[in-house]
Structure 1
Amino acid sequence: MTPQTHAQNLILDRAQIEQKVTRMAYEIYERNFEEQELVLAGIHLDGYTLAEMLAAQLEHISPLKVYLLRITLNKAAPLQEQVQLQPENISITGKAVILVDDVLNTGKTLAYTLSTFLPQNPKKVEVATLVDRHHPLYPIAATYTGYSLATTINERIDVVLDDDNFGAYLH
């Protein structure tokens, strides 16, 4: 898709996304100020990029020690392949964990990742998303939301967090 096609459907530009990430980081810190450590677990690809952006803000505004985890799974068939966490040496036992994804649609992706985290006994698990579409099919709700947008089930939201075409787009 060309940048011009994207521009017609732009719902969040770079400045708006950065503003929402900053606000979300403050909200995360406010709800977790008593923690010493925090784990941000981002769904590969753009959820992890969003987690990196949140981690940078949290390290700037708070004394929290922030750990980043990359979650990789087959979103189309989550039971066919094991959910991968990288790096593998980060313990989440007794820690506050925030699952991060770019778009929360049905909650399916985040629901399947919980099976990887719960056996490790985290202190709590929260959810951060840049765009919440409000089509829950699973009992997953965002704790932190950058932008809430009611869409039809046929519409799609694409979040692009690379330097060439930074934005959120409605299709």
Structure 2
Amino acid sequence: MTPQTQHQSLILDQSQIEQKITRMAYEMYEQNFEEQELVLAGIYQNGYTLAQKLAAKLESISPIKVQLLQVRIDKTAPLEAPVTLSPEGVTIEDKNVVLVDDVLNTGKTLAYTLNKLLPQNPKKVEVATLVDRHHPLYPVAATYTGYSLATTLQERVEVVLTESEIAAYLV
């Protein structure tokens, strides 16, 4: 995380991010209202933090039981190390899974994560992202988007989800 003075421009503040999480949770409930359970698989680190926040909101607004999975993947070299899910032994067979990441850029991270999830035969896989940058290189689209932002390839979106700061910046 870089100091706030290093950021070019704030695109979402804490209040806006909390509103987006609430809206996304309601959308998830609407799309999955017949389900007893929903699995949120968050990409470590910020995707998992976002999944935790979505799970808390979903459980406060609906009767759906939410199970969290943490997905660890090497985002720069996804074939170098195996994609891992924790806790181990959680079954997603015949369950609705929402893959959660903070920023959707090319879709590469989510595509490689699908390789880990699909052999377990989930009923449905959806994607939730706080910021969608719209630079798809892989056939992955967000089902639930907090904020849609057109950026250049040189720009970066940095999402900060810590106890001391919740914000998104265009860097």
Tell me the TM-score normalized by structure 2.
0.97
Deviations 1:90-134 (A, max 9, x none): 110000000000000000000000011111000000000000000
Alignment of 1:38-57 (within 5 A): 38-57=38-57
Q: What is the CA distance between 1:5 and its match in structure 2?
A: 3.3
Structure 1 unaligned runs (5+)? none
Structure 2 unaligned runs (5+)? none
Match in the other structure for 1:133 = 133
- Cα distance in 2 for partners of 1:4, 1:135 equals 27
Match in the other structure for 2:5 = 4
Structure 1 SS opposite 2:100: strand
Match in the other structure for 1:111 = 111
Name the aligned partner's letter for residue 43 of structure 2.
I
RMSD after superposition: 0.8
Match in the other structure for 1:25 = 25
Name the aligned partner's letter for residue 136 of structure 2.
P
Structure 2 SS opposite 1:54: helix
Deviations 1:119-156 (A, max 9, x none): 10000000000000000000000000000000001000
Contact preservation (8 Å) 1:102, 1:159: yes
Match in the other structure for 2:63 = 63
Q: After the TM superposition, which segments of 4 or more aligned residues of structure 1 sit over 6 Å from their partners? A: none
Name the aligned partner's letter for residue 160 of structure 1.
V
Structure 2 SS opposite 1:66: strand
- Cα distance in 2 for partners of 1:29, 1:105 equals 25
Deviations 1:42-89 (A, max 9, x none): 000000000000000000000001000000011111011100000012
Name the aligned partner's letter for residue 131 of structure 2.
V
- Cα distance in 2 for partners of 1:47, 1:53 equals 10
> Taking every aligned residue pair, what percent have the same amino acid on both sides?
69
Tell me the TM-score normalized by structure 1.
0.97
